[in-house]
Chains A and B, each alone.
Chain A
Amino acid sequence: MAELQLKSARFRAEREAEWRRLESLLAKGQAGAGRLRPDELLEMPLLYRQALSSLSVARSISLDRGLVQYLESLCARAYFFVYGPRTRALERLTRFFARDWPQAVRSLWRETLAGGLIGAVAGASAYVLVRQDPDWFYGLVPGALASGRDPAASTAFLRQTLYGGGHGAHQGLDLLATFLFTHNAQLALFAFALGFALCLPTAGLLAYNGATLGAFVALFAARGLGFQAVGWLMIHGVTELFAVTLAGSAGLSVGWAVCFPGERSRLDAAVQAGRRGALVMIGVVVMLFAAALLEGFARQLVQADLGRYAIAAASGLAWAAYFYWPRRSRPA
């Protein structure tokens, strides 16, 4: 019989059962690794290695392309299963908040400083400009955002916006908070992504954000409401501005890594910065959620200036301690 002379056909007849077994275990495991019994789990790496060796053998002795393609696909699937992520969701979550996120934020301190500086300088310039010539206000703040709070408004109206229901007087506070959260989070994600375009757009966005803020404060300061306006802004602003600055700095770090990769290759540098930035961004979304709660609820419920300042200071201290408090670095 010619069949028996064909080593590749004999090889296939001998090994086929193993491959089929691996295939069925894979199908079961991909529906959820918990469905595999312990003995099946132990069998998996063995079968995987056997399939790999089959692939090597088949490549060298078999000219049956269908067979080689099948084995390549089988081995790839088994590879991704065997070397797939193993940590559980809860474990990953605690590790993220306990270690990964603060660590990522700490390692971005230079960019955070730069981002904060950009925002602060832009804010200060806008403040000075608007104090000197209130017309600047219209150029810096879009009408929709100002919603009547511009140099033409009366002092009484401005005061009322600080202590009344704000711009959400007619809506429920929870709705306002949700809207603010989704809007700010989308903007922060955008700021991060823009960083890849060589930093400049992100820096622009940070500067613009700072300038808007500076113009607002200048408007209220001109009517002697500066102290109150800062309290109104900062009760959530500490958290929100910190989050936005972090998003911007994560973007800056990616752009910087692409421009100046240093000793690493440009691709490696981008990957390192990109993954670290992504970690920071997950946290930024959480921070913005907290900021929206403060803005939507706390600001409307706490009407005293000193109370607002106290909350602002407390949130600032809490974030700073969480991120930058020195802690022992444990090996991963």
Chain B
Amino acid sequence: MRSPIAALRAPRPLPAPAGPRPFVTPEGVDLRLAAAAYADRMSAFVLDGLIIVGVLIGFTILAFVAAWGFRNVTIGADGAFIIWLLGAFLLRNGYFIAFEVGPHAATPGKRLLGLRVIARDGGRLTADAVVARNVMRELEIFLPASFLLARGQGVDAGLIGLGVVWSGVFVLFPLFNRDRLRLGDVAAGTMVVKAPKVTLPPELVAERAVDDLVFSEAQVDAYGIKELQVLEQVLRRGDRRTMADVARRIRVKIAWDGPTDIPDRSFLSAYYAALRARLEARALFGHRRQDKFDRP
């Protein structure tokens, strides 16, 4: 029996976190994609910006060298400058569009951070959507930047200050909605999600060194799914000190009275297998025990 006070102390379910958002494929399976964090997107943008500036600098040097080299040719220097103008224009406007239309739907910066652009309705990411979301960047980056770089006195200064505040709304827009949409995403019907490449980790129940450890029913009933998955993390990380600590706690919690000379890792993976078998069997019968407070 639990006292009313214990019931009060039990953790209440938290409000739904801004984590995965339902994204159902036509086959009816929810992929639970998570919106990319603002910090990740900013980092990706800074990376892309650095790439653009780097290429532009290299390109400029090249153009100067070419202009110098062709200074005696009739259209040489002009030609170099023309190519530079067109190249800079293409780089500024085409870099994001070209990469996001491609098979990865992400710029190099986004790919490094494991992000990609998707259409919010789950459909195909079309070229017009990519263009729309990137053209809007004029409003989000270049407008505030031009206000910040503008100079003026008196009334002008006041107007510029107001302009900074006004355009600041666009910069901070992603912080005020759940899906971290920036204005371009709103206008294009897209969003940026985390889509990292995850490798398949080895099966933990296969690596059991000690087979004859037997746990009683009460002992495997000590924990729920949450603890099981923490244990999984501990085993996968394989940090010796953490494992020793966790093994000691579990031994106390389940009042372990079996052999005491088994190494911590073997003990933990044996207990992991037993606990998982128990919880999965229970889940098959319809009861997913969320954590250790979740009593049947």
A contact residues vs B (CB 8 Å cutoff): 1-3, 5-9, 12-13, 16, 19-20, 29-30, 32-33, 49, 52-53, 55-56, 60-67, 69-70, 72-77, 79-81, 83-85, 92, 100, 171-172, 174-175, 178-179, 181-182, 185-186, 189-190, 192-194, 196-197, 254, 267, 270-271, 273-279, 281-282
Contacts and interface: CB of A to CB of B under 8 A. Distances in A.
Given A178-B82, A186-B89, A6 B205 contact: yes
Interface residues of B, number: 75
Contacts of A190: 138, 142-143
B197 interface: yes
22 contacts: A2-B205, A2-B277, A3-B208, A6-B273, A9-B205, A16-B200, A19-B200, A52-B29, A63-B279, A64-B203, A64-B276, A73-B198, A77-B195, A85-B101, A174-B78, A182-B86, A194-B143, A196-B139, A271-B186, A273-B187, A274-B136, A275-B128
B197 A196 contact: no
Contacts of A29: 103
Secondary structure at the B interface, as helix, strand, loop or mixed, is: helix
Contacts of A1: 211
B33 interface: yes
Contact of A70 (B127, B186, B199): B199
Contacts, number: 199
Contacts of B128: 100, 275-276, 278-279, 282
A186 B189 CA distance: 23
Contacts of B183: 196
B205 A63 contact: no
Given A63-B228, A278-B129, A197 B195 contact: no
B206 A84 contact: no
A175 B78 contact: yes
Nearest to A33: B103
Interface centre among A62, A85, A185, A281 (most CB of B within 10 A): A85
Contacts of A274: 129, 132, 136, 186-189
Given A65-B229, A80-B118, A278-B128, 15 more contacts: A5-B277, A60-B283, A73-B196, A73-B197, A80-B105, A83-B124, A178-B81, A178-B85, A181-B89, A182-B85, A193-B136, A196-B139, A275-B128, A275-B132, A278-B135
Contacts of B104: 30
Contacts of B81: 175, 178
Contact of A179 (B85, B93, B142, B143): B85
A271 B188 contact: yes
A49 to B, nearest CB: 6
B186 A267 contact: yes
A73 B114 CA distance: 11
Contacts of A72: 31-32, 198
Contact of A185 (B89, B195, B201): B89
B204 interface: yes
Contacts of B279: 63
Contacts of B33: 76
